[in-house]
Structure formats: structure tokens, C-alpha cells
Amino acid sequence: MTGEVLRARSVTRKFGDFTAVDSMSMTVAPGEVVGLLGANGAGKTTLIRMLLGLLAATEGAVELLGGPPDRTRRARMGYVPQNLGLYRDLTVEENLAFSAEAYGVPVPGVPAELHDARNTLVRELALGSQRQVAFVVALAHEPNVLVLDEPTSGVDALSRARLWDTIRQQADNGVGVLVTTHYMEEAQQCDRLLLMSSGQLVGAGSEDDIIGDTRAVAVHTPEWAQAFAALNDAGIPVILDGRAIRVPDTDPATIDSVLDSAGIAADIRPVRATIEERMLVLARAGAHG
């Protein structure tokens, strides 16, 4: 397949006076895994719902597989929403059979690791197993585009790794994939990243492209709890990484002054920011804009 499987052209979505997505443009090509990042409320799910034709754009236009997201094109798309889209009062096999009938395809086999649970109601499965069933349902009709809204949220690291093996396999087969995630180690597995903040696209490209020249300060001190409290009370954006403190986009002299006033000795060093810290900086800028 040539061309983009997903495209947004300056799309905006308003709910009354609130703008959830603001002039957003993006694409996903066949065989490409694009990560859509952003804090809660950034507009990611609203954008996805517009791309899939589940929500009309207030302005702009979206394309699914080269045209409007009509019923025919949506039938060539696989979708795993945040709530998984499964029928919790049906068994695993019943969910697979229902979806296959809807798409007019053969019923997919139950994965070997779920074989013993094939007659179990979905609501009784562990979250990791539910997500695995959702993937099987989404892929049973061999879609050309796969849209995954936080598909690995709340599952263990091994289950996440297995699901990402599936994602990469689909991309290797030419499927275009759009995926949202809060796990930065997953973002690093994407071919390209899009960062949203306050409904707008504020960064695109590689991890380095998105971080840009944003810096952070690493604070190391045995009195890490007291240091965290002092910086937080001073209104400084502070992140706790184990017992290490990181402060994005803040002058080291400001941090030194706050800690000195609190009688806390610390090793303060400028460091490269992370994507999470870049997201925090953008979120704070939006909140104070």
C-alpha cells in the first residue's frame, strides 16, 4: 500500500468553548509505528476518535486509508481503545466469534497461553489477558492500519514486551500503526513520535527532536525527602526518580538558593532532560499561558 494510512489536516475539535484539539496535522505511513505522546487531557484520544470517524472535526479534515473514514474504510482498520472494546459478559471464544462474524472472516484461534481460559468470561480475566484478547480481535481481519490507545496500560513488563512484539510484527508486514503510551521505553520503540500538549502538536520526530534544548537539574542529597518538600513548597516542578530529584527547565542557582535556605546540602548538576520532563514543561506552560 502506498500513501498514508492516516492523515489529519489542521483538524480542530471544540466542545462548546473548550478546544480539545487545535489545528493538528499528522500522518502515519504503511509499515510505520508512530507514537502519540502527551499528558492526560492533551487531546490524544479526541484526535484518535476523529481519525476513526467516531467524532466529527469542527474544522479541518481527516483521512483513513486515503479517504473519509467511512464504514468501508473502517472495516480495514484494527482498533484497541482504552477500554479494550470487549464484551465483558461474553467468554473469550464468544468475543472472537462475534468479531469474526461482524467482519465476515474466519474465527481466529485462541492463543495457546489463553487456551485454558477460552470459556472464561472476559471480565474474570486478568488485565494482561484481556489486552491479549483485544489484540487478537483487532487483528483477526488483517487490517491495513492499527490504532492502539494505551494498549499496554496496567499490565506487567513481560506482557508489554509480548504485545510490542506483535506491534512490530504488524509494522513489518506493512501495517501502519498509531499508538499512544505513557511508557517512555515503549516510545523509544516507535519509528517516529508526535507530542501533544493542550490540544496542539508541539513536537515531532525522534526523542532528541522532541526534547530539543530543554535541560534539567539532577539533585543528589541524603536529605532527599526534605529537599523534595522544600522545592515543591517553593513552587518548583520537581520529579522524584528513586531517591534522586530531577527538576526540569529551572536555573540551578534557583534550586541551590532554595535548598540553602532550607539548610540542605546537595550535589546539583545540569543534565539532559527526558521526554517526561519536556512534557511537564509544556504542560506547565499551557497551564500558565
Which of helix, strand or coil describes residue 243? coil
**Nearest 5 degrees, angle CA 208-CA 178-CA 12?**
90
What pLDDT score was predicted for residue 202?
A: 86
State the pLDDT confidence band at 270, using cuts at 50, 70 and 90.
very high
- Mean pLDDT for the chain overall: 88
Instruction: Please state, in angstroms and rounded to a whole number, the distance separating the CA atoms of residues 201 and 36.
Output: 10
Residue extents of the structural domains in the chain: 6-210, 215-272
Tell which wins on pLDDT, 156 or 230. 230
* Residue entry with cell 472535526: 57
Q: Does the structure show a pLDDT above 90 at 260?
A: yes
**CATH T-level fold of 215-272:** Alpha-Beta Plaits (3.30.70)
Instruction: Please state, in angstroms and rounded to a whole number, the distance separating the CA atoms of residues 57 and 8.
Output: 10
Residue 28: all three cell numbers together: 502515519
Instruction: Please state, in angstroms and rounded to a whole number, the distance separating the CA atoms of residues 275 and 29.
Output: 23
- Report the run of H or E that residue 259 belongs to, with start and end: helix 252-261
Instruction: Please state, in angstroms and rounded to a whole number, the distance separating the CA atoms of residues 271 and 107.
Output: 52
Please state at what angle helix 224-233 crosses helix 252-261, rounded to 10 degrees. 110
* Residue entry with cell 475539535: 13
- Report the run of H or E that residue 137 belongs to, with start and end: helix 127-139
| CA atoms within 13 Å, Cβ hemisphere of 266 | 32
Burial class (CB in 10 A: 0-12, 13-18, 19+), 143: buried
Report, as an integer, the average pLDDT of 116-130: 86
Tell which wins on pLDDT, 174 or 132. 174
Instruction: Please state, in angstroms and rounded to a whole number, the distance separating the CA atoms of residues 53 and 74.
Output: 8
- Kindly report, residue by residue over 70-85, the tens digit of the pLDDT: 889 998 999 988 788 8
Kindly state which CATH superfamily the domain 6-210 is placed in. P-loop containing nucleotide triphosphate hydrolases (3.40.50.300)
Residue 122 carries which side chain, given as an amino acid letter?
V
Instruction: Please state, in angstroms and rounded to a whole number, the distance separating the CA atoms of residues 140 and 266.
Output: 56
Percent of the chain whose predicted confidence (pLDDT) is above 90:
43
**Nearest 5 degrees, angle CA 111-CA 115-CA 119?**
120
Cα dist from 73 to 52, 77, 135, 177, 178, whole Å: 9, 7, 19, 15, 16
